[in-house]
Amino acid sequence: MTITVSAEAFALAEAFVISRGSRTEAKVLTVRVSRDGVTGWGECVPYARYDETLDSVTEQIAALPDDITRAALQDALPAGAARNAVDCALWDLEAKQAEKRVWELAGLPAPVPQITAYTLSLGEPDAMERAAAKNAARPLLKIKLGTPDDMPRLEAVRRGAPKSRIIVDANEGWTAEVYADLAPHLVRLGVELVEQPLPAGEDDMLAEIERPLPVCADESCHDRASLPALKGKYDMVNIKLDKTGGLTEALKLRGAAIAEGYGIMVGCMVGSSLAMAPATLIAQGAAIVDLDGPLLLAEDRPHALTFDAKGVHPPVAKLWG
């Protein structure tokens, strides 16, 4: 078996802004694994928040033995972007060699479309109101926040999209005091969930303050090993393949989280349809699905995922799985 890695960039339709910075393109790594004339592929998005770069992740993958199996991979690499791309590529390879879909190999029901959130990036209130109005027909909007001055933004988005369901992602940008002050207003404005209001590692106060709406762990939850530290602080977990290190661990995390009473959100980094494709399997039955990465791109891969009124559809075999 051979493993190859290539860096690619996909232009965004417009600048994507969160509390930690902005970007105008999605920089990804594409991994291909080939055996006996068959090639499977996967994509990851190295994330600086987790000390990942294109080079560091490429080096991790390059160090793998050519005969790596999906089972051995789970111990060979830690949870993160490198393992994700290889794991998903191996799933794709196995499916192609078996002439079956990945969900059949995993013993899962055939996936169906899922309503996905559409993300409005952080901006001035007027700009966010215009963006909300432009997307007011979408059933679920996700607002990027995470500053001490977020109330005008919340109000503006609700004015712009009075009928849409709304979730909020603070990207670790609030303090306990800011969140406690905002929480009643989030409820008043019909916000259904707040994602990672406090920094990971500094979120113990969530166990001590009132949580009037569900709080979802994102940066605080990577894989099953994260779950013990979440107890009493979070109501939901956001499963992202670039955090779990692939579909294999994501399936196990979903099962463990449900068994412990957590609600499930399935999210993504900003990547192409190839990165989202495996996540559509995890998204089945999730309370919140946030797989809008391709909708933020100016360009995508061939055989891209379909997005319509029913939501994000499972991938066709020509894309993945």
Positions annotated as catalytic residues are 144, 240
Residue with tokens 């530290």: 229
Q: Is the dihedral of CA 119, 238, 234, 23 positive or negative?
A: negative
Interatomic CA distance for residues 66 and 101, integer angstroms = 24
Residue 238 pairs in a beta bridge with 265
Q: Is 133 exposed, middle or buried (0-12, 13-18, 19+ CB in 10 A)?
A: middle
Long-range contacts, 173-179 (Cβ 8 Å, 24+) = 173/19, 173/145, 173/146, 173/147, 173/197, 174/146, 174/148, 174/198, 176/205, 176/206, 176/209, 178/148, 179/209
Tokens representing 138 are: 């979408």
Phi, psi of 308 (to 5 degrees): -150, -160
Residue with tokens 């980094």: 269
Tokens representing 126 are: 């007027």
Question: Which residues, 6 or more positions from 246, have their beta carbon under 8 angstroms from its beta carbon?
Answer: 42, 73, 83, 84, 85, 86, 87, 88, 91, 278
CA 130 to chain centre: 25
Instruction: Find the DSSP H helices in 99-150.
Output: 102-105, 125-134
Cα angle value 193/194/199 (rounded, 5°): 155
Among 271, 267, 194, which Cα is nearest to 233's?
194
Interatomic CA distance for residues 92 and 193, integer angstroms = 33
